A and B are shown apart, each in its own frame.
Chain A
Amino acid sequence: MTRKSEANLDDRADSCEPLGDNRDLPFEAITVDPLGQDQTSSLRHKEDELLVVRCQLGERSAFEELTERWHLPLWKYVRRVAGNDDAASDAMQDVWLRVLRGIVRLRDGSKLRPWLFGIARNVLMDRLRQRYASPPPADIDLSDIGGDTIPDPLEEDMTALEDELARLPETEREVLTLFYLQGLSLSEVADVLRVPVGTVKSRLFRARHMLRRGLDQKGLRT
């Protein structure tokens, strides 16, 4: 990576803006982060902290709010990394068990988001370790990964993007999912992945190039 491109990446990534000059990618349609402003971010952190404090006080409604608000985003992340619906649904049970049992020990409630995705990641890593320790399962049918067939051109682009995303190596898929699809900031992604912010930036840079190359090969980049 050149210094110029690194600087470009730093400037844009620090403000959670879409990276690079590839505004014409279908991927850009889902990279707009509405939480870019500091004030909104601070408000978001306070809302998260309030939810955590209420959970720690044992308010049942807070736990319900927590699961309602975070089940789908976590499921999407787990689904993308795990590769299929069944594995994702299975892993989600473990994720929520760990969340419900561990939230009392979460010291800084404003870090709820990286904490939740960190737990999801730990569950996935544990399962990956178990999978490598056991005989290999049958190959994943990539035709299943695209999900629903919707004749809308944007939806078709999204499906193709999802396919391409699913083909990326796990490290790149994970960082793209957390940063662009889940809207985590660079420092939050770094917390989840337990790597320095600089590593997150370089992984994002590499992942975007891999994704762009894949989409170019399919002729999807307009």
Chain B
Amino acid sequence: MTRTEASVLANAPDMRRLLDSELSRRSRFGYVALLLASSAMTVVVTSLWLTEPALPLRTQIALLIMSVIGLSWLSLSVWALTTRRVLLGRDGVLAGWMAVTFTATFVLGAALVGLSTGRPGAYAASLLGVGLLAVAVVVLMRARRRMASLMSRRDALKRELGTRE
């Protein structure tokens, strides 16, 4: 090994920093939280905008802008979770459970508000929330399937390589 190659290997601390930063769970789950919060915000604001009768034009414009802002955050978190901070293995399952729990609570909360106040916006929010819940359930199921398939493949490969060694 030449001195240059030895110095390349000596740069391992840089690699460790890169791994720490890229594999940070805090960052991943930060984006999951952003995704959930932004989807709830978008649903609530959009429901109000669509269902509240006789809103002044300024309020309608404000609600529209807030919906666009919510959608922007939603898009950002989806982009980050699919390209920059992809959820690996168990993290995907955990994020799926978080999404199901959060959206189920949201739907229940919105339905209760609708029942107690009779406001159409709350019903609309709970209806849109059901859509989010369905997406969350699909995401969770896919993550569980993927996790099970990867674990099964890992165990099979380990067995195979173990018998050869």
Contact = CB atoms under 8 A, between A and B. Distances in A.
Interface of A: 43, 46-47, 49-50, 53-60, 63-64, 67-68, 71-72, 75-76, 85, 89, 93, 96-97, 100-101, 104-105, 147-148, 150
A85 to B, nearest CB: 6
B164 A71 contact: no
A71 B8 contact: yes
A104 B88 contact: yes
Nearest to B5: A72
A58 B19 contact: no
A67 B89 CA distance: 19
B83 A101 contact: yes
Contacts of A49: 153, 157
A100 B90 contact: no
Contacts of B153: 49, 53
B58 interface: no
9 contacts: A43-B164, A50-B161, A53-B153, A57-B90, A64-B19, A67-B19, A72-B9, A97-B22, A150-B2
Given A72-B9, A101-B22, 6 more contacts: A53-B150, A53-B157, A71-B8, A71-B9, A71-B12, A150-B2
B142 interface: no
B8 A89 contact: yes
B89 A58 contact: yes
A50 B4 contact: no
B14 to A, nearest CB: 8
A148 B36 CA distance: 55
Contacts of A57: 88-90, 147, 150-151, 154
Contacts, number: 79
A75 B7 CA distance: 11
A100 B2 contact: no
Contact of A100 (B9, B22, B158): B22
Contacts of B84: 101
A211 B90 CA distance: 50
Interface string B1-43: 0111100110110110011001100000000000000000000
Contacts of B2: 147-148, 150
A104 B11 CA distance: 25
A60 to B, nearest CB: 6
Contacts of A104: 86, 88
Contacts of B9: 71-72
Listed from nearest, the 8 A-B pairs whose CB atoms lie closest are A58-B88, A57-B89, A58-B89, A50-B157, A100-B22, A104-B86, A53-B154, A148-B2
Nearest to B158: A50
Contacts of A63: 19, 23
B154 A89 contact: no
A85 B4 contact: yes
Q: Which of A56, A97, A101 has the most CB of B within 10 A?
A: A56
